Amino acid sequence: MSRLAGLFAELAQKNRKALIPFVTAGDPNPEFTVPLMHAMVGAGVDIIELGVPFSDPMADGPVIQRASERALAHHQSLRTTLAIAKEFRKTNGHTPIVIMGYLNPVEIMGYEKFADAVQAAGVDGVLTVDLPPEEAEECAELLKARDVDPIFLLAPNSTPERVRIMDAIGSGYIYYVSLKGVTGAGHLNSAEVETKLAEIRANTKLPLAVGFGVKDAETAKIIGNLGDGVVVGSALIKEIEANLHNPAQAKTAIIELLTSMRQAMDN
Amino acid sequence: MTEKYNKPDARGHFGVYGGIFVAETLMPAITELNTAYQHYMKDAEFIAELDKDMQHYVGRPSPLYHAERWTKELGGAQIYLKREDLNHTGSHKINNTVGQALLAKRMGKTRIIAETGAGQHGVATATVAARLGLECVIYMGAVDVARQSLNVYRMKLLGATVVAVESGSKTLKDALNEALRDWVTNIDDTFYIIGTVAGPHPYPAMVRDFQAILGREAKAQCLTQAGKLPNALVACVGGGSNAMGLFYPFIDDADVKLIGVEAAGDGIETGRHSAPLCAGRPGVLHGNRTYLMSDDDGEIIETHSISAGLDYPGVGPEHAWLKDSGRAQYVNITDDEALGGFYALTRMEGIIPALESSHAMAYVMKLAPTMKSDEIIIVNLSGRGDKDMQTMAKREGIEL
């Protein structure tokens, strides 16, 4: 059983929802990320999504774009992201790590080398934003053979047919994007999310992590009541951006926000 | 070739290239577009409306002009220019925007978006949007907005909103990123008119099909005027739509050489260029697998060319396939060589070409003298140089 499958089974027993922070690896500097990851675990997060910096993040809003640009300015890449994961694993053997990025760095590295490197780094899941299931077969098989879960996105406008496709090829969990648009956009409509999640559950037994539009304890609680996990990204990165000259302050603010989310979700 | 050329496959593959590499949020829109495109390309009424617009609005057919003085000067093959510069709005771009806008109308979309580099595609899009009364938003890199101010003004005159994109390298690729973000956010009412033979399927095939009219015309015109097929076709390649439009109807004519000309900028060896087919490697960007300019980490490299329209790190996937299969060959021309082509055509034939097309002209100057006088080159004069007057005057130290 993969670390992600084990985690969701354990959470289901405890009737607890996964809190899943997303941060871009190496933002605002390469030394910031590993200590932040450990601190986030201390604040009660269950899975960590690490964004791989990419020059052309087409599906991301301005906040995550700028995070990528800051990391790239420090020459961060897929390789350094995996190094960050590996470093974290030295002292944490239980918290699943999912890397989330775009396909070109993977293509340039080569699928097999990538799958080996991901496994060696102790990464548990891979979400490649611009790799839909139709094109993903080869990469997904290589990952699964190494106990790494290929994770796919579903959107508000995804058809039941597409849910079945994701169910067949994906594992670990499904990332449900609760809003049309890019990351960091818009307002959440919880009734719509509820209806859609019920529709999706009719076609898959995979856990559903819900993201896009989670910005505070209140929205985290609402989403926690609907899905199996809550993804929060832009709201955390905004704290980094607001404290560029004081990364320690950014870390404190991120931990405070996650702590408040954890409490709201558990009560 | 024994089998008739029939690429791409149903999922948009040209060999290993092409395909659909987009975020899940875009998949329903891509599927909807593909269904509409497959349907209307076989719909007699749609085709009739398209043909009528091509004739009366665009001004087709464009002439195939025998450049006799330039031919004599170069002392080799007979040179024929496919005069896409004479189209409404001044380039081949309008062939595609008229087609996609008609499709948008049939699909009930009320809002048009597009990316643009030099501004030619933006102008061609704003033009058809004005004509059909559709809201129009054009994304353009902030760097390009500054260097193509004339076209920015044209787009605004036509009623479009021009958004200067400040992210990344602030050029065409970033404009494309931003247009994709807009599309994913406004998917219900918005049609994205991509300007070149790149992007997720069906764009590469669809844009090629709308542009192929220029190749079909050139073929018929050459047979009428010269009594035989040409020996070589030459066209500049940025994304590659004018080249694909010219090449496509000739792919099964194995004796016709297909030559694409990429922008070598300051020279391939300097790294400051826009020549992914000549000096890049396969990867995935903007929805398709193709040759790209990317570094060892897979990050996209900033490109350089004197012509904003060629300043793009990728290229249409069908060109990638034509390169690997050996059916087409790809060469490159530096900024300085392109300027030579620009001045030559202007002085020898009284035709001022766009800087993009000037790359093709510069290659003709190398190629023609190596060929016999009973051989024929058709070169695509994809656009006129009016938009480049400021750039050229500035290079010459003249203030307009």
A176-195 pLDDT, tens digit per residue, is 987 777 666 666 788 888 99
Confidence of residue A170 (pLDDT cuts 50, 70, 90): very high
Does the annotation mark B323 as catalytic? Answer: no
Is the predicted ipTM greater than 0.85, yes or no? Answer: yes
Considering Cα of B120, then B125, then B130, then B135, what sign does the dihedral take?
A: negative
Cβ contact B120:B151 at 8 Å: yes
Per-residue pLDDT at A186: 62
Spell out which chain A residues touch chain B, with contact meaning CB-CB distance below 8 angstroms.
53-59, 61-62, 65, 69, 72, 77-79, 102-109, 129-132, 134-135, 152-155, 157-159, 162, 177, 180-182, 185
Considering only the beta carbons, identify the residue of A56, A103, A154 that sits closest to B173: A56
Q: What is the pLDDT of residue A179?
A: 74
Rounded mean pLDDT, B166-194: 92
- Rounded distance between C-alpha atoms, residue A200 and residue A211, angstroms: 15
Chain B CA closest to residue A155: B25
Residue B1 has pLDDT above 60, yes or no: no
Contacts of A184 in chain B (CB under 8 A): none
Q: How far is B52 from chain A (nearest CA, A)?
A: 36
Q: What is the mean pLDDT of residues B353-359?
A: 97
Q: Which of A10, A27, A31, A49 is catalytic?
A: A49
Residue B204: asked if its preceding bond is cis (omega within 30°), the reply is: no
Tell whether the model's pLDDT for residue B221 goes beyond 80: yes
- Catalytically annotated residue among A46, A60, A149, A167: A60
Catalytic residue check, A49: yes
Selected catalytic residue, list B7, B93, B109, B173:
B93
Structure-block tokens of residue A242: 């607001």
| DSSP character at residue B383 | B
Handedness of CA A25, A30, A34, A35 (dihedral sign): negative
Q: Of A112-116, A208-212, B159-163, B242-246, give the lowest mean pLDDT range.
A: A208-212
The neighbour count for residue B17, using CB atoms within 10 Å, is 26
CB–CB contact A182 B181 (8 Å): yes
**Sheet strand arrangement including B78-83:** B64-66, B78-83, B376-381, B232-236, B257-265, B328-334
Task: Quote the pLDDT of residue A184.
Answer: 65
Give the global pTM.
0.96
Return the structure tokens found at B95: 């062939």
Residue B240: predicted pLDDT: 97
Q: Are A122 and A147 a contacting pair, CB within 8 Å? A: no
| Distance in Å, alpha carbon of B30 to nearest chain A alpha carbon | 12
